[in-house]
């Protein structure tokens, strides 16, 4: 099973180019990130070329983080900012050879927010399509992100159906969805046709996958049996130095 290092959490103490190099040294097959925009694209592109690792994805910006914002695309009245963030992400992804863009919805509820999110995603998909980019939407759990617009795969499917763009997919984060819905084995099978990327972390502490209430040795075997071949995103928070949390990466229980 191939794995991608999410550099929003792993090696967060390093510069992003050095984190890419650390991921390669540790044995990861790909990398992904959260918000790389303060790092010059040339530095990221050079590190990716040096290591040969693909960049699977990045996020649109959150907005005013000092005010607690966590995305813009479902916020009525913020369409100009939301679409600027989408354009920024597409430009950056193109410059580094990225594959997916997670368009962050933000904290908003109600029918107006639904319509705003659908309109902005329609824009994102149209802008991304000529570049071969996939747009992702991700349900977040109500403990870590109370009030986030998207919380379940049921609503994600409704949004994907409403936009009806072939390059709009679900980001299936096992951590968030175990908390919100559980029954990951059946949920993965049900959602795989609309899924563009899969991430994981232990529950409830969002640590490495060799602890907590989810049996990831089973989950990874199940994902492989479903025919999934894209690297799975290790988006967990290390309990110490990242290297000290990577025993699972060489454990055949998880990797074969």
Q: Please give the positions annotated as active site.
A: 138, 235
Exposed, middle or buried, 186 (CB in 10 Å: 0-12/13-18/19+)? exposed
Distances in Å between the alpha carbon of 52 and those of 46, 48, 79?
10, 6, 37
Secondary structure letter of residue 51 according to DSSP: H
Cβ atoms of residues 137 and 171 within 8 Å = yes
The number of beta carbons lying within 10 Å of the beta carbon of residue 244 is 10
**What is the DSSP secondary-structure string of 201-231?**
--TTT---TTSSSS-HHHHHHHHHHTT--SP
Alpha-carbon distance of 53 to 58, in angstroms, equals: 15
Q: Which two tokens stand for residue 73?
A: 């695309």
Exposed, middle or buried, 166 (CB in 10 Å: 0-12/13-18/19+)? exposed
Secondary structure letter of residue 165 according to DSSP: -
Kindly state the helix (H) or strand (E) to which residue 101 belongs, with its residue range. strand 100-102
């Amino acid at each position: 099973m191939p794995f991608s290092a999410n550099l929003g959490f792993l090696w967060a103490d390093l510069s992003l180019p050095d984190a890419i190099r650390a991921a390669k040294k540790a044995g990861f097959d790909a990398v992904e990130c959260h918000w790389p925009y303060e790092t010059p694209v040339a530095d990221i592109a050079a590190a990716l070329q040096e290591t040969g690792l693909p960049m699977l994805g990045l996020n649109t910006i959150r907005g005013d983080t000092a005010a607690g914002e966590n995305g813009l695309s479902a916020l009525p009245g913020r369409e100009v900012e939301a679409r600027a963030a989408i354009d920024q992400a597409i430009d950056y992804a193109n410059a580094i050879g990225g594959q997916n863009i997670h368009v962050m919805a933000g904290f908003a509820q109600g029918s107006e927010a639904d319509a705003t999110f659908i309109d902005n995603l329609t824009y994102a998909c149209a802008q991304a399509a000529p570049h071969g980019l996939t747009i992702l939407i991700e349900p977040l759990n109500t403990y870590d992100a109370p009030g986030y617009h998207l919380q379940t795969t049921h609503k994600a499917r409704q949004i994907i159906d409403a936009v009806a763009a072939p390059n709009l997919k679900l980001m299936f984060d096992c951590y968030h969805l175990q908390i919100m819905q559980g029954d990951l084995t059946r949920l993965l099978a049900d959602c795989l046709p609309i899924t563009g990327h899969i991430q994981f972390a232990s529950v409830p502490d969002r640590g490495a996958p060799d602890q907590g209430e989810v049996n990831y040795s089973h989950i990874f075997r199940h994902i492989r049996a479903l025919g999934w071949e894209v690297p799975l995103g290790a988006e967990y928070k290390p309990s110490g130095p990242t290297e000290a949390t990577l025993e699972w990466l060489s454990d055949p229980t998880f990797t074969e």
